[in-house]
Every structure is written in structure tokens, then in C-alpha cells.
Copies of this chain bind each other. A is one copy, B any other.
Amino acid sequence: MESYVTGLRCAGCGHGLPVQYALSCPRCGGLLELEYDLERMAGLPRDRLSGPGIWRYAFALPVRDPAHRVSLGEGNTPLYDCPRLAEAIGVRKLWLKFEGTNPTGTVKDRTSATAVSAAREFGYKAIGVVSTGNAGSSLATYGTRAGLRTFIFCYERGSQPKLNHMAACASDLVFYRGVYDDMIGVFDRLVDEGLVFDGGASRNPFKHEGKKTIAYEVAEQLGWAVPDFFVAPVGVGETFIASYRGFRELAAMGWTAGVPRMVAAQSAVANPIVRAWREGGDLVPQRIGYTVAEGVAVGNPDAKGRYVLDILRREGGLAGDAADADIVAAQKLVARTEGIWAGPTGVVTVAVLRNLVRAGQVPSAARVVCMVTETGLKGEYPPIHPEGIVPDYEAVKKLVMARLGGFPA
């Protein structure tokens, strides 16, 4: 299917540009966003969509030449109706949008698909990113699959499962010491000189755009309807903004009746959005502490952070945070009630929803979708060293019967 992209527009000053690889507004330096011919898109046959992975929604994505589109079957992730979890949390209806079934186990695969495809469209042979894990392994996977060189700049002490993954899939894995902020400065200069295509989360609108498909999928899975609340995690803000933009487009096209109330979920030790939202002021960059939710450990989300705040204020959204203990408890609750194994970053939304329900900010009659951005398989957990029982039939039978409540010995 053809792309209906028409151009770029600055989210700050409104300046418009034709479709091109640009990372900031030439007038004001603001964030650039992609625009589409929504009027023509409205007439597309929404009940006969097809295509591999996120390219099911190729009309709403910015890669024009189908030959440039790479897919590993990302997206089309399940939307789990979770009645037991809903009851435990105290809302009428709760769905989890589980991104753990993506090829590398995280939501990042959606943006890797559009970033790598755009790199091909603009003639690049190499793509890069600075990452401690999920983004790096995802981009390495997609870049390699598309035949590009992949420069993954990785913190030397990243988590082992992710280091192994990146080491296997990246053509060029470069470890660095020091802090992310130093490396990102170096990386941005490489990008600005055109040595590698920008696979980072903060500037490139073509990369960002892949996550917009979350909104399209959720709406389609609900029969072209939207929930009352949509809870998305906020680190840099990519998932939140992209989902919101998707819901906005769908409403503008008349495919859905409106947009959900957006809820920004953060870790309590990396919560600049939540603070500004509660206190009513500007975004204040923050020196962050350790959080189990490493994917949202961002103290200065910068331009995208301000944009998130803007959406929350303009649209009557909500923001909330959760302590590490709440996040770990949410991870267990999701696993024990619904059998779904998600990582700590993935369940920040669930922990935050629980807090907001308790505080009365989300009503019990609400119908809610929580993004769950990653599988639990990529985490590092405290080792378990159990002592097993000896396989003796009578002893095991007694144990099983006692637990089942029948004929306890």
C-alpha cells in the first residue's frame, strides 16, 4: 500500500517542509513531525488492511518505496483482556498491549523497522544508536536484516543478556565508558556529519513514527474503538507521543469516535514529567537514581518531555509514578493473575495505574489499556538456588493433594 505522507511540520513553530531527512526545524530548532493526507486516508478500506508487520499501516508511515520497507514481523502484538488483573487493581476493564511478542521482545522493534527502512530510502549504508540494551539489540537486528552496517554504542556495563544479543547481531558494537550524556553528544555529531543514519529516540521523526502503529493496532483490536484511558510509559517520551499522534490521526480520519485520555507513567526516581505536571511549572531536568525500570530511566527528556507535558495539559491527561517496590509487585501481580511475564520497564504502566486508582484519579468504572513494552525474558534477576525434594511418589502425591485441597494428609 502506498504511503500518504505529505511533509514535515515543526511541533513548535508550525513551519512546514517537504518530505526529507531532517532532524530539527530549520527555523526554530524544534521537533519535526510527519504529516499525512488524512482526508484521503479516511476513505481507505480499514477492514481489509494487510501487509507484513507494521506495514499493515504503511499508508500512515513515511516510507514510500515498498522495496525499502524492512519487516521481521514486528507489531500485531496481542491485546490481552485481563479480568483478574482488572479486579485486583479495581477497574472495570483492563487490557494489556503486550509488546513482548515482537521479534526482539520489545516495542523498540516498531521504531527500528521505520528507522532502518528510512535509512534505506535516504541512501544510507550505516545506522547507529547509543543504547544500554533494548534499542541497541533491536536496531542491530533490523539493520543487519536489511544489510546495513549497524554502529551500536553501548555502555560497557550493560546487562548480560542484552550485551550477548547485541554482540551477536551488530556489525559494529562499540563499548564506551562514562555516562550516556557524554556519548550521546559524540553520537549526535556523527549523525550531523552524515556518517550514520540517526537511530536514536530524541530527534529523528522517521524513527519515532514506527510506534504510532500501536494506536492503530489497539483501535483495530477493539473494533475501531478506543479505551477511556491509555497508559504509556515515559522515558524520552517516544512511545507516549507516537501513540497519542496515532489516536489523533484515527479520530481526525473518523475511524474512531475520539481519543483516550492519555496517562504518562514514570518511575518515582526518574519522574520529571510527573513533577512538572503536579506542580504546574516547566520541565526541570533531574539527576536520577537507580530504578529497576531501566527503560524509563531518563532525567532530561528535553524537547520530547516538554511535548508530553503539553499533550497532558492540553488534553486533560494524567501523569503518575511508581516506586521500584510497586513496579516489582506489579510484575508479580501480572504474572500470577494472568500468566504474563513482562519486564520491570514493561509494567511501570500497571504499577502507576494501580496507584492512580487508589488515589481516585482513575475511576473504577474506567476501561483502560496499559502498554506493556517488553517481555520479562530480557531481565537480570536475583539468582534462585532452591533445594529440591527427592522424587518420592507418596511424598509428592501428598504435597499435590494438600495444595489442591483434597484429602490433606
| Cβ contact within 8 Å between B399 and A174 | yes
Q: Convert A272-303 into 0s and 1s, putting 1 for each residue whose CB lies closer than 8 angstroms to a CB of B.
A: 00000000000000000000000000000000
| Cβ contact within 8 Å between A169 and B336 | yes
Task: Give chain B nearest CB distance to A339 CB in angstroms.
Answer: 3
Task: Give chain B nearest CB distance to A284 CB in angstroms.
Answer: 25
Q: Convert A373-388 into 0s and 1s, putting 1 for each residue whose CB lies closer than 8 angstroms to a CB of B.
A: 0011111010110111
Question: A315 an interface residue at 8 Å Cβ cutoff?
Answer: no
Question: A396 an interface residue at 8 Å Cβ cutoff?
Answer: yes
| Cβ contact within 8 Å between A165 and B377 | yes
Residues of A48-97 contacting chain B, CB below 8 A = 72-73, 76-78, 80, 84
| Cβ contact within 8 Å between A176 and B389 | yes
A98-B103, A103-B101, A196-B400 known; A185+B391 contact, CB < 8 A: yes
Residues of A363-409 contacting chain B, CB below 8 A = 375-379, 381, 383-384, 386-393, 396-397, 399-401, 403-404
Q: Which residues of B contact A336 (CB under 8 A)?
A: 144, 168-169, 171
Question: A218 an interface residue at 8 Å Cβ cutoff?
Answer: no
Q: For the complex, what is the distance from the CA of A172 to the CA of B98, rounded to whole Å?
A: 24
Task: Give chain B nearest CB distance to A134 CB in angstroms.
Answer: 11
The count of identical subunits is 2
Question: A45 an interface residue at 8 Å Cβ cutoff?
Answer: no
Count class of interface residues, chain A:
35 or more
Question: A100 an interface residue at 8 Å Cβ cutoff?
Answer: yes
A168-B332, A341-B169, A376-B165 known; A186+B72 contact, CB < 8 A: no
| Cβ contact within 8 Å between B164 and A384 | yes
Stretch from A2-10, A25-33, A148-156, A227-235 forming part of the interface with B:
A148-156
Task: Give chain B nearest CB distance to A179 CB in angstroms.
Answer: 9
A172-B403, A400-B196, A403-B149 known; A390+B178 contact, CB < 8 A: yes
Q: For the complex, what is the distance from the CA of A169 to the CA of B195, rounded to whole Å?
A: 46
Question: A261 an interface residue at 8 Å Cβ cutoff?
Answer: no
Task: Give chain B nearest CB distance to A166 CB in angstroms.
Answer: 9
Q: Which residues of B contact A390 (CB under 8 A)?
A: 176-178
Task: Give chain B nearest CB distance to A54 CB in angstroms.
Answer: 13
Stretch from A135-143, A202-210, A236-244 forming part of the interface with B:
A135-143
Q: For the complex, what is the distance from the CA of A236 to the CA of B335, rounded to whole Å?
A: 29
Q: For the complex, what is the distance from the CA of A156 to the CA of B386, rounded to whole Å?
A: 6
Q: Which of B73, B105, B143 contacts A77 (CB 8 A)?
A: B73
Q: For the complex, what is the distance from the CA of A367 to the CA of B169, rounded to whole Å?
A: 25
Question: A248 an interface residue at 8 Å Cβ cutoff?
Answer: no
Question: A160 an interface residue at 8 Å Cβ cutoff?
Answer: yes
| Cβ contact within 8 Å between B396 and A144 | no
Q: Which residue of B has the minimal Cβ distance to A377?
A: B377
A151-B400, A339-B141, A401-B195 known; A186+B332 contact, CB < 8 A: no
Question: A338 an interface residue at 8 Å Cβ cutoff?
Answer: yes
By Cβ-Cβ distance, the 3 closest A-B pairs, closest first, are: A73-B78, A156-B388, A144-B339
List A residues at the B interface (Cβ < 8 Å).
Answer: 72-73, 76-78, 80, 84, 98, 100-105, 125-126, 128, 137, 140-147, 149, 151, 153, 155-156, 160-161, 163-165, 167-169, 171-172, 174-178, 182-183, 185-186, 189-190, 193, 195-196, 331-332, 335-341, 375-379, 381, 383-384, 386-393, 396-397, 399-401, 403-404
**Interface pairs (10), CB distance under 8 Å:** A72-B78, A101-B101, A105-B105, A156-B386, A161-B379, A165-B376, A175-B389, A178-B388, A178-B390, A185-B393
Other contacts beyond A164-B376, A168-B332: 17, CB < 8 A = A72-B78, A72-B80, A98-B103, A105-B375, A141-B339, A144-B338, A156-B386, A156-B388, A160-B381, A161-B377, A163-B384, A176-B388, A177-B387, A177-B391, A189-B393, A190-B397, A195-B401
